[in-house]
Every structure is written in structure tokens, then in C-alpha cells.
């Protein structure tokens, strides 16, 4: 077991009477692509700026590569940052921008030129070395910023909303390009983002942040399939959350029997121990894990189609159950023809496996 590249212990940062980062402890291993995911004001950017050294914690310690970073200037840290605005130097060419950090290290001219060329090859910008930033497109600027931050071969690369300034199509391509560069360099990446889809695609691990705290730190798959709280369940992807009361253990190990206002008697999986009977819980089911049938004799629960949204790849249905509760269901459109979406006001039956649903206590 190698030592973590980043160790946070009880880190606190306040601005006036606003607590931006509230007693955070975390280890990040070398070679991770770690995402800090949260809304604005969740403390994710403050944490990143503390790692870069632009802010210092009020209390607690930050260790990078085994060294305490207290009082260490950003210029001397083994980390580099890619800024949200890219922060390219407007009066320098692409090559000069990328070489800036290398020149500060006192490298010889020829050595700087070689390494700059290598970096530009990595981000596929060799042809544009002599351009100024204003002569580049948004995507090209983003790659210059990435090359400049990687040029000093930092132990950790900090990326502040690296893709937020790009349009949707370009963002998807760039996500994969970013992962290729991550693989090629072997550097630890820490990405701050508010875009949960981006975090899911990129990260090996995600820390979901809210009000300066980590709500859950897990792999993307764990976060999606086994959210620990309603906040995480709702923040990552789409989900149906229904209030319910535990009536006892389920028919098999790890299941709980519930009474749910919206549906009636249901069973759902528990992450950990089955809560005692009478406990107030939430039933969480992802929309794509609910089967929808127009056969009114099918097993499951009654519902009526309230609204539907055809999205090409799938169709999202908004249903109303017999008790009047709203429920979201998505169905992939796997066939081109013949498969008609279920129409408005059609009575349907919905069903889901107990293992597909989750009991959340908080």
C-alpha cells in the first residue's frame, strides 16, 4: 500500500461567517482521477484553491506527496492548476504560454523548446505553436491551458471546471481526450465540476460535496447504484423518491418490506442492516429500472400516463399512481419502427424488482 499523494486532515476554511470548507478529511491515491462534485457554494472550488495554495486553511493540515503544505507558496508546490477561464497569457504565443513554467524552473532554452514541443504533441497543437490565444478557438485554448499546466510535470494536476466553457458536442469529445491524456501522463488529476455526468464519465472516484462537507465519496457506479442519502440519490441522475414505513424484514436476506403511500406494499433492498419495523424511510427507484406495461393484467401497480417526453434515444414518462403520487419512468427506444410510445392518459402497470429499489434512511 503506497502512501496517498494527498492527505487532508480536518481542514476548515471560513470567509467571514461563511464556512466554505467544514472539517474535511480525505486521502487521494496517486494515479486517481478524482472528481469534486457539488453545486455552487458547496466548497469544491475553495478546496481546490487550498490544494493549489491560493487559500490557506484556517485549521487542519494538507499534505501533498508526504509534505505538509503549510506556508508553501503556490510557486513551490508539486501541483499545477488548469483554470476555469484558462487564464492564458494574452501577450504570449501558444509555445511561450506552455513554456512559461519551464522557463521559471531555469531550464536552458533548448530544453524548454524540446519539452514544449512534446507537450504540444500531447495535446495535438504542434501546428499552432506560434499563434496568440485570441487566434484560437475555445477548444484549442482549453488544450493550451492543459499543456501549460502539465508542462512542469506536476505530481497532481488540479482542473477547475475544465470543460464548462465548451459547447455540449465538443465537451463530450474533450472528456475522452482528457482521459487519454490522463492515461498517457500517469499524473493524478483532481477535477472540480458541477456537472454530474462529466464527473461520472471522467472519475475513478467522486466526492459529492454539499455545504462544505463530503456527503459521499465513492466510485461513480457506487454513487449511482448505492447512494447513501436522498441528497446524493437526487443529485446524481434521475430518481423517484417515495416516503415509506418499514413493516418488517423482506422475503429474502437484505430486503425490507415497506408500506408506501404511493404504491402500497413493496419490498426493496437495504444497504446494510434492515431498519426496524415502524422506521420512517424513503424508497428510491431509478426511472430506467421500472418496467412499464400496457397489459393491465401484468403484475405490479396501477398508474396512468400523465405526460411523456420523447427524447430520441429514450422516452420519459411521467405517471400518476392510483394514490395520486407522481412517478418518473424512462424506456429506451430500441426499435426504429413499430414501437409506439404509450399515449397520454393510458392506464398502465408498473413493476420493479425489489433488488432494483433501495431503502434510504436519510
| Positions in the binding site for other proteins (CB under 8 A) | 52-54, 73-76, 80-81, 83-85, 87-91, 100-101, 104-105, 131-132, 134-140, 148-149, 152, 170
CB of residue 188 to other proteins, shortest distance in Å: 16
- The DSSP annotation for 151-187 comes to TT--SEEEEESTTTTS-HHHHHHHHHHHHHHHHHH--
The dihedrals phi and psi of 116, each to the nearest 5 degrees, come to -60, -45
Comparing CB distances to other proteins, the nearer of 54 and 176 is: 54
Write a three-state SS string for 7-69: EEEEEEEEECCEEEEEEEEEEECCCCEEEEEECCCCCHHHHHHHHHCCCCCCEEEEEECCEEC
150 vs 260 by CB, closer to other proteins? 150
- Scored b (16 or more CB within 10 A) or e, 145-163 reads bbbbbbbbebebbbbbbbb
Least separation in angstroms between CB 3 and other proteins: 24
**Least distance between other proteins and beta carbon 85 (Å):** 5
Smallest gap from residue 69 Cβ to other proteins (A): 14
CA 127 – CA 125 distance, rounded (Å): 5
Least distance to other proteins from the beta carbon of 207, Å? 22
Q: Which CB sits closer to other proteins, 9 or 131?
A: 131
Q: What's the closest the beta carbon of residue 275 comes to other proteins, in angstroms? A: 48
CB 54 within 8 A of CB 80: no
**Nearest to other proteins of 95, 319 (CB atom):** 95
- Can you tell me the distance from the alpha carbon of 8 to that of 331, in angstroms, rounded to the nearest whole number? 43
Identity of the residue, 104 or 121, whose beta carbon is nearer to other proteins in the bound complex: 104
Which of 104, 280 has the CB closer to other proteins? 104
Cα angle: 101, vertex 103, 106; to 5 degrees: 120
Amino acid at each position: 500500500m503506497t502512501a496517498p499523494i494527498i492527505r487532508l486532515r480536518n481542514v476548515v476554511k471560513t470567509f467571514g461567517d461563511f464556512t466554505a470548507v467544514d472539517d474535511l478529511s480525505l486521502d487521494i491515491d496517486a494515479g486517481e482521477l478524482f472528481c469534486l462534485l457539488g453545486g455552487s457554494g458547496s466548497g469544491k472550488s475553495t478546496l481546490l484553491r487550498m490544494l493549489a495554495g491560493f487559500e490557506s486553511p484556517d485549521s487542519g493540515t494538507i499534505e501533498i506527496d508526504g509534505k505538509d503544505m503549510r506556508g508553501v507558496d503556490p510557486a513551490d508546490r508539486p501541483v499545477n492548476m488548469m483554470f476555469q477561464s484558462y487564464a492564458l497569457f494574452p501577450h504570449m504565443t501558444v509555445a511561450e504560454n506552455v513554456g512559461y513554467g519551464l522557463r521559471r524552473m531555469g531550464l536552458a532554452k533548448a530544453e524548454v523548446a524540446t519539452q514544449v514541443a512534446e507537450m504540444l504533441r500531447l495535446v495535438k497543437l504542434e501546428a499552432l505553436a506560434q499563434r496568440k490565444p485570441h487566434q484560437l478557438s475555445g477548444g484549442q485554448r482549453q488544450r493550451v491551458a492543459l499543456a501549460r499546466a502539465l508542462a512542469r510535470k506536476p505530481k497532481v494536476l488540479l482542473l477547475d471546471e475544465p470543460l464548462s466553457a465548451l459547447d455540449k458536442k465538443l465537451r463530450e469529445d474533450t472528456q475522452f481526450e482528457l482521459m487519454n491524456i490522463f492515461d498517457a501522463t500517469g499524473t493524478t488529476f483532481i477535477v472540480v465540476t458541477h456537472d454530474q455526468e462529466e464527473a461520472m464519465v471522467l472519475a475513478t472516484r467522486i466526492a459529492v460535496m454539499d455545504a462544505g462537507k463530503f456527503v459521499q465519496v465513492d466510485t461513480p457506479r457506487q454513487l449511482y447504484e448505492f447512494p447513501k442519502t436522498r441528497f446524493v440519490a437526487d443529485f446524481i441522475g434521475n430518481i423517484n423518491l417515495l416516503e415509506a414505513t418499514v413493516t418488517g424484514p423482506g422475503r429474502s436476506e437484505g430486503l425490507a418490506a415497506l408500506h408506501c403511500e404511493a404504491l402500497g406494499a413493496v419490498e426493496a433492498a437495504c444497504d446494510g442492516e434492515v431498519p426496524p419495523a415502524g422506521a420512517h424511510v424513503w424508497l428510491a427507484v431509478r426511472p430506467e429500472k421500472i418496467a412499464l406495461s400496457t397489459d393491465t393484467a401484468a403484475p405490479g401497480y396501477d398508474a396512468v400516463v400523465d405526460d411523456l417526453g420523447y427524447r430520441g434515444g429514450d422516452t420519459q414518462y411521467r405517471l400518476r399512481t392510483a394514490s395520486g403520487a407522481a412517478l418518473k419512468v424512462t424506456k429506451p427506444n430500441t426499435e426504429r419502427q413499430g414501437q409506439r410510445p404509450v399515449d397520454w392518459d393510458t392506464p398502465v402497470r408498473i413493476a420493479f424488482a425489489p433488488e432494483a429499489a433501495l431503502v434510504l434512511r436519510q
